[in-house]
Structure 1
Amino acid sequence: MKLAATYASSEAFRAHWPKCVDALSRLCEGPLSPPDDRYSMARAMIEDTRDRPEVAGIEQALGKLWAFDERFFGDVIGGSEPDFRWAVYCSAYLIDDPHIAADLLDAYCPLLGTFAVETFGETFVRKVCSTFRDDVSEVIWEHQELEAPRHESEFFDWHGQLNGSPDNVRAALIAQAGIPPLEHESLPPLDVMRVFSPQVSSPAQLGSSADEYLRDLAQFYEQHGYIDVSKELYDLEKRRSRMTDGTLFSNLTSDAIARVIRTAKHSVCFAAPGIQMEPAKAMAEVAGRIGPELITVCLDFDERVMRMGFDDLNAVKALQGAGISVNSTPGLRTGLVIVDHNGYIFTPTALYLEAEDRPAEAPNAMHLSKDQVTEALARLSPAAKAIAIAMAKTDEEREHIRRTAVEVRSQQVVATTVEQVERRLTEAPPVRFDVARQVRVFNAYLQYVDLKLEGAAIQRHRVAIPPNIQKLGGAKDLEGRLKTTFDLIEKGGKLSSKALEDSLNEIRKNFTPSLGKDHGRVVLKAAKPHLEEKLKTFRTELEKHQETVKTELQDKLNESRKQIVDYYAPIVVKNPPDAMRGQFLKFEEPEARTWLDHELDRAFPKAEALIQKMQLDVRYKDVTFETLNREDFLAAIKKAFPGVDWDKAYSEFRAAGEDQEHQG
């Protein structure tokens, strides 16, 4: 039994349980208030499980709350997957109050997840699922008073009673259940529609009858005046029908592949770099009908493939969980899907580069002939070859297939390999594909850039005048440079880097406008070659300046030092300081100069200590998703680059992320 594909671990279940308890409280004290005192009697028991979510305690508390002993006798009727899907889709698409819908899903989904089925048992979970359906029914029929079909053979007016919630709100609600949002908000699955309208003709499990349901529903909407939505469903049906009408070129998305797989009567063969969840779920469903041994899957099972967006690790695990053997062929990049005698070769989509949502008239697949299908099966793998032999009509055809050599080498993906890949993806999680696509839109236009001149500003170096010299008095002719510290060279002198810094600031101004202190400077990719030329010229000037500094700096330092000694020597001779009297016997000018030089030795650096490697540090950084989502980003780049159509780029940015709800 499989209901919700979520809350698979004990940790996930227990982490959510307090939220489940709170949701139950709000429901039982609000829209689903019991007709008696059941909740008040069970409340303490339920609250007691908040911090101690033990299985026995939960079963006892919920059984008392929902009166399981009174409502269920013998085998549980209901609580199956169609009931679950009906309750989830009704909560997300029909219940007007999103808070009630959220509480229903918060309360029930953990109790219907993988962990619950394995831990509480199928019988208990089916009782919970049946209660879920009952509670959703009470909300939509008793509180909202939705209009039911007048006849059991008439379609329920799903479109006319939609709740109007945004797609992202619905998707967030449904995500808890581990099932996908509806392909179209006005097209509920047939098993959901049949709960409302039991006598609506049930299409067979095979063939194109699902499209017949779509056409019938579109006609119903048209008759009720929903012209626009009816047209949308007719267009959807046309896109689907292109898959089976003999057209050579087709548009195969993961959803379309899943629809083709669900038509399987005899066998399924799938080979591609990777597989997404929808085709995997379809194969798991088909495996329950025809057997997993009749499903062949060949992938390039590698973490790099998953980082490119070809593959979904959870999809692979879902296949293995359904008993389907998954084989790996390193480097496989072609896509092939064969269902019975119907086959396509297709170009898989790397979700890191683009979304799967593409116009129906944009083909990525080609239909194979019957002979091509047979050849593909025979050459793909031993398992596929065995299927081809079983499907052959004549002894001659079977013998031809037996003589055909298998060309694609592969080996089975075992549990240890899955664990290794999962561990690497956990240690270094791949970026969300919709985020990567959005960032790439603006990365095509601009980059952040930081220009930093290092080691050139010799004029900013100062030395501290030794205290013994400071006590001798001020220096009028050096007062611009000599106080308690001393400028080693003149700020506007030949060795100053001011001219270089002015030149670099001009480059910044012309090529790297600032987007504000919180953003930094950026350069247009189109202007980057011109910027590099300017920086090349600048580096040449920097090298010349460095050679000049190397040649002349020590002379400048000596000159600066001589200015200090020349000034202070007469003062020292006239009034020798105590620090000198304790060291010298004579106090003439030579001794004064010697003493001053000795004092300055401890403060003045040598030229080689000052001369570092002068360099221009240029660092480029790509824009990030967080930066692009800042409210002031678009206004900032419009101001910095008024000549660029940023509205067009920003619309592409938003479009690149619209399908994120399909990425999981």
Structure 2
Amino acid sequence: MATLGGPNQTFAVASDECLIELIRSARNQLVVVAPALTTHVATALADRCGDETVSLNVVLDADPEVYRLGYGDQAALETLRVAMTANGLALARQAGIRIGLIVADERMLVYSPVPRLIEAGSENQDKPNAVVISGNAARQVATAAAGGGKSPSEIGLEGLGPDDIRKIETELSNAPPQQFDIARAIRVFSSQAEFVELEIENLRVTVRRVPLPSDLMGIRSEGLISRINSTLSAPPEVNGPFDIEVEQADGTTKAAKVDSRWVNEQRASLEREFTFLVPRHGRVILIRDKERFQAELGRFERNIDRYKAAASAAFGKSRQDFRKALIEEFLPAWEASPPDYVTRYYPHPSKEQVRDRLGERLDGLLEEASSFQPIRCRVLYKGITWASANDPEFTNSLTETMRKRGVPRAELAKLFSEFDAAKGQTGQ
């Protein structure tokens, strides 16, 4: 338990125990300045309110945000106000004050208040957040904070009355502070790990079966009958596999047969190597692995670009070949008996006019039967949510998955250490 220490101590830890010790040591003058106070410290101050031998001045902030950040406890404000009012004393306020100090006679502690929403604070003397000052400097600061003689106070010029406190209570009731231990757990999760989603869009050519109109019936070619049976469909070869040069991890390339299955296997390999699947929640990646993951993802995307170029070229060639075969199949029948919508504009159409109209007719059907959209690879990172951080099923499942994947216990301890080190304060 951290205490103020001996008279020669300069650096200290401003724990509640340390502040209370200094408050109780005052014999003539006690000045307290802070954004807000915890209930323990406010109770110790309330006990000194009835001591007529001690001059007591307290300056606090009046912004509800100080309680949402965890600089103090809302209940402490009312505890102190009641005690000071009962003894003819008044609270003072200083907007935006973010330093803390206690002057007890000729000894002063200047400290950095801990926002418990962000960190739990420390009682370890190796992690000081305060300085102990004695003598004239302490008296000078006390005068600047509380006034004295002909010197007016520099801060706390306005009172903090019942109406101000009711306003604070109302705002905190409408938007209450978070549970500090859970908020810190989320922060630790966010700094150590986060959710990740890897999506690939338009991986396959969109294929549909399109009914043939009456003017395109009667297929004779056996090569087309297998692909056209009263309906038109896209050729299967447009989805590969394609022979391309695939970039390897060492930067070299290697010939491989690539199709949508290959792409999905590569994505699964990336997910297995760098992420941890938590059922019903999603995949989690450690922040320390993101740089390597992004590098491998870049290689993966370059290989997808190669696949995309091959697929696009194959799609274009296949459609042109298919279109040519269809024109050769239907052109004789159209030339012998052109459809009405051809003769409507060309009463005596030439062979080229019939071919052009047939080509336009087939282009519309082929576009309806198949389309090629650019393949896109997208990665999305999301922070760990309050619900996930507060869900034992999630935390236990993630721990077990990481353990099975060989993550060292020391790394797991870093991920979850804040749960042990940052428990919410009790007894307040």
Asked if TM exceeds 0.5, the reply is: yes
Tell me which residue corresponds to 1:315: 76
Structure (1/2) with the larger helix percentage: 1
Change in Cα spacing, 1:424 to 1:564, as seen in structure 2 (3 Å) is farther
Change in Cα spacing, 1:360 to 1:562, as seen in structure 2 (3 Å) is same
1:115-514 equivalent positions in 2, closer than 5 A: 242=4, 247-262=9-24, 266-290=28-52, 294-322=55-83, 323=85, 324-330=90-96, 332-356=97-121, 358-359=123-124, 363-380=128-145, 384-386=146-148, 389=149, 402=150, 408=155, 411-413=158-160, 429-454=176-201, 456-457=202-203, 459-468=204-213, 472=218, 477=223, 484=231, 486-487=233-234, 490-492=238-240, 498=260, 501-512=264-275, 514=276
Give unpaired runs (5+ residues) of structure 2.
Answer: 245-257
Q: Greater RCO between the two (CA within 8 Å, min separation 6)?
A: 2
Tell me which residue corresponds to 1:518: 280
Q: CA deviation at 1:377?
A: 0.8
Tell me which residue corresponds to 1:656: 421
Q: Is 1:638 aligned with 2:409?
A: no
Letter in 1 for 2:380: R
Letter in 1 for 2:14: L
Change in Cα spacing, 1:377 to 1:653, as seen in structure 2 (3 Å) is closer
Preserved CA contact (<8 Å) 1:449 1:522: yes
Query: Which whole-Å CA distance do the structure 2 matches of 1:440 and 1:644 have between them?
Result: 20
| Superposition TM-score, scaled by structure 1 size | 0.49
Query: Which whole-Å CA distance do the structure 1 matches of 2:416 and 2:282 have between them?
Result: 23
Preserved CA contact (<8 Å) 1:299 1:327: yes
Change in Cα spacing, 1:603 to 1:546, as seen in structure 2 (3 Å) is closer
Query: Which whole-Å CA distance do the structure 1 matches of 2:404 and 2:306 have between them?
Result: 37
- 1:100-157 per-position Cα deviation (integer Å, ceiling 9, x unaligned): xxxxxxxxxxxxxxxxxxxxxxxxxxxxxxxxxxxxxxxxxxxxxxxxxxxxxxxxxx
Q: CA deviation at 1:326?
A: 3.2
Change in Cα spacing, 1:305 to 1:475, as seen in structure 2 (3 Å) is farther
Q: CA deviation at 1:432?
A: 1.9
Query: Which whole-Å CA distance do the structure 1 matches of 2:304 and 2:112 have between them?
Result: 52
State the SS of the aligned residue for 1:295: strand
Structure (1/2) with the larger strand percentage: 2
User: What is the root-mean-square deviation of aligned Cα atoms in Å?
Assistant: 4.6
Tell me which residue corresponds to 1:123: none
Tell me which residue corresponds to 2:367: 604
- 1:153-212 per-position Cα deviation (integer Å, ceiling 9, x unaligned): xxxxxxxxxxxxxxxxxxxxxxxxxxxxxxxxxxxxxxxxxxxxxxxxxxxxxxxxxxxx
Query: Which whole-Å CA distance do the structure 1 matches of 2:220 and 2:66 have between them?
Result: 74
Q: CA deviation at 1:409?
A: 7.3
Q: How many residues align?
A: 397
Change in Cα spacing, 1:581 to 1:504, as seen in structure 2 (3 Å) is same
Query: Which whole-Å CA distance do the structure 1 matches of 2:386 and 2:292 have between them?
Result: 27
State the SS of the aligned residue for 1:348: coil
| Superposition TM-score, scaled by structure 2 size | 0.71
- 1:518-573 per-position Cα deviation (integer Å, ceiling 9, x unaligned): 23222222221112222334445556666777888656544444444444556778
Q: CA deviation at 1:244?
A: 7.0
Q: CA deviation at 1:340?
A: 4.2
- 1:395-414 per-position Cα deviation (integer Å, ceiling 9, x unaligned): xxxxxxx36x7555765456
Query: Which whole-Å CA distance do the structure 2 matches of 1:447 and 1:551 have between them?
Result: 39
Q: CA deviation at 1:415?
A: 6.7
Tell me which residue corresponds to 1:623: 384
Letter in 1 for 2:209: A
- 1:347-395 per-position Cα deviation (integer Å, ceiling 9, x unaligned): 3222123324524675443333132221111222xxx123xx4xxxxxx
Query: Which whole-Å CA distance do the structure 1 matches of 2:122 and 2:13 have between them?
Result: 10
